[in-house]
Structure 1
Amino acid sequence: MSSSFRVGVFVDAENVRYNGGYQMRYDILRRFAAREGGVLQRLNTYMAYDAERAREDYEYKKKAHAYQQMVRDFGWKITAKTVRRYTDDNGNVTTKANADLDMAVDAMLQANRLDQVLLVTGDGDFLQVVEALQNTGCRVELIGFKNVSRLLQQRVDAFYSGFVIPDLLPVHYEPRNEWGKPGSCVRGVCTKWFPDKGYGFLRVMNQISPNLWITDPREPDSPYISVFCHANEVADEVTEDLLMNRETVLEFYVNESEQKDNGLVANNVRLAFSVNR
């Protein structure tokens, strides 16, 4: 990829937070966006900030500012949207800090200096933004976690589940996790399952690479690995229908096979995410 290839990233932080992406790592997201060697022209994230709560809750204010500073240290520009409170006729209070318009406007205004845009959201309201960006000549990619608009997935040039990008979403109970190494916890999808034989194969993105389109792990330049999975290692909640659905994301441990040299096997396979849940 040419070094003049310009990339812009726009993160709908609140949508990500409430749809499975809590604790998403901005350093890994930056690395993913730059995987093809392009110039990271824009790194924008749109976050909510509750100023009213901050006046009364020092710990909230302290943590919010510390988190924002950490994200800035990774080179991101933060647009903080103030949380607003609304009271209905029954006295019920709701809060809202919608950054959709800001994010959409910024993406459109900055598109003329970009070759590729990476949107991090699941909100179907960005459908027209995607089409408008593509009409300017931009390639548009999408990262989402749960509740990602199906139409949005279909209209972008490439969609990636944030669950399967190495280390983008930490495994909170494995703080020293080394993704893809024997003994590590990873997430992936089932590519083949043989119900009559009681086994199949899972695919894991083992590294962030410009070759994500080479999905066959047998290819030497593929960033994916294939992991053997026996039915005995699969949790009861993971039905055959879920296994045979490529949109089902599984979380499991990888270990070296005792039967095959350089082979990998899956242990303790459980459900990380399914479109049916």
Structure 2
Amino acid sequence: MFVYPNERIALFIDGANLYATSKSLGFDIDYKRLLEHFRKKGQLVRALYYTALAEDQEYSSIRPLIDWLDYNGYSMVTKPTKEFTDSAGRRKVKGNMDIELTVDAMRLADSLDHIILFSGDGDFRSLVAALQEKGRRVSVVSTLQTQPPMVADELRRQADQFVDLADLEAQIAREGGRPAPQRERFSRGSSGGQRPIAEPVPFDNADEFEGEDEL
């Protein structure tokens, strides 16, 4: 990834999307290493992590990570998941953070030179275009090395720079070996890209789940 040394940069991390992408590539993210990597690249202004949480659960597997990130240089943006019943009578839980990420990116754009977006969600293409109209560079981090690719083609093409997460593994992967690749189920968003909807993403870290067995 090319970053000018004097650039003011910010990381916008779609937590569920990054989790699914790294798992599909067979490694876990070391968020301390990730932060240190980008601090060396330029003038890191903010690192924001977005995820939805199920507040009614006594214990959530994502909460230890959320607490650690909150005390170690990341700005956490969370909201409760919403439960509803679809037309087929199936219970679903939804926790999409796209609006929150978009609002923050536009709000902070004037104090930044380079936005680095960790997501493959095609719904962010319009955000990238709007940031570019404001004269900001935008890099997208996702992967083409899965089948189907985790990044939506329109998002990848809109970005000033696309970085495959696999190429960052040596710099940001958690040390101690690669976990076995896990099979996941995805749904395609309205603008392409892959959204994790079930295993092995924790209940509170995915955009949407179906069925009582997954609740």
Offset at residue 174 of structure 1 (A): 5.1
Moved over 6 A (4+): none
TM-score, structure 1 as length reference = 0.55
**1 CA distance for matches of 2:5 and 2:166?**
29
- How many residues are aligned here? 167
Partner of 2:166: 163
Matches within 5 A, 1:6-17: 6-17=8-19
**1 CA distance for matches of 2:142 and 2:92?**
25
The answer for unaligned runs of 5 or more in structure 2 is: 144-148, 180-215
Offset at residue 29 of structure 1 (A): 2.4
**Greater relative contact order, per chain length (Cα 8 Å cut-off, separation 6+):** 2
Partner of 2:109: 111
Matches within 5 A, 1:183-198: none
**2 CA distance for matches of 1:32 and 1:150?**
26
**2 CA distance for matches of 1:136 and 1:89?**
41
Contact 2:47 2:73 (8 Å CA) reproduced: yes
TM-score, structure 2 as length reference = 0.69
2:10 alignment partner AA? G
Contact 2:22 2:28 (8 Å CA) reproduced: no
Q: Map Cα deviations across residues 210-241 of structure 1 (whole Å, 9 max, x no partner).
A: xxxxxxxxxxxxxxxxxxxxxxxxxxxxxxxx
Q: Map Cα deviations across residues 241-276 of structure 1 (whole Å, 9 max, x no partner).
A: xxxxxxxxxxxxxxxxxxxxxxxxxxxxxxxxxxxx
Q: Map Cα deviations across residues 161-212 of structure 1 (whole Å, 9 max, x no partner).
A: 112211424476459xxxxxxxxxxxxxxxxxxxxxxxxxxxxxxxxxxxxx
Q: 3-state DSSP class of the match of 1:19?
A: helix
In structure 2, relative to structure 1, the CA distance for the partners of 1:2 and 1:33 (3 Å cut) is closer
Higher helix share: 2
Matches within 5 A, 1:140-155: 140-145=138-143, 146-155=149-158
- Higher-Rg member (1/2): 1
Higher strand share: 1
Contact 2:48 2:74 (8 Å CA) reproduced: yes
The answer for unaligned runs of 5 or more in structure 1 is: 176-277
Offset at residue 150 of structure 1 (A): 1.2
Contact 2:22 2:29 (8 Å CA) reproduced: no
In structure 2, relative to structure 1, the CA distance for the partners of 1:88 and 1:30 (3 Å cut) is same
Partner of 1:29: 34
**1 CA distance for matches of 2:89 and 2:121?**
29
Offset at residue 140 of structure 1 (A): 0.7
Offset at residue 18 of structure 1 (A): 2.9
Partner of 1:79: 77
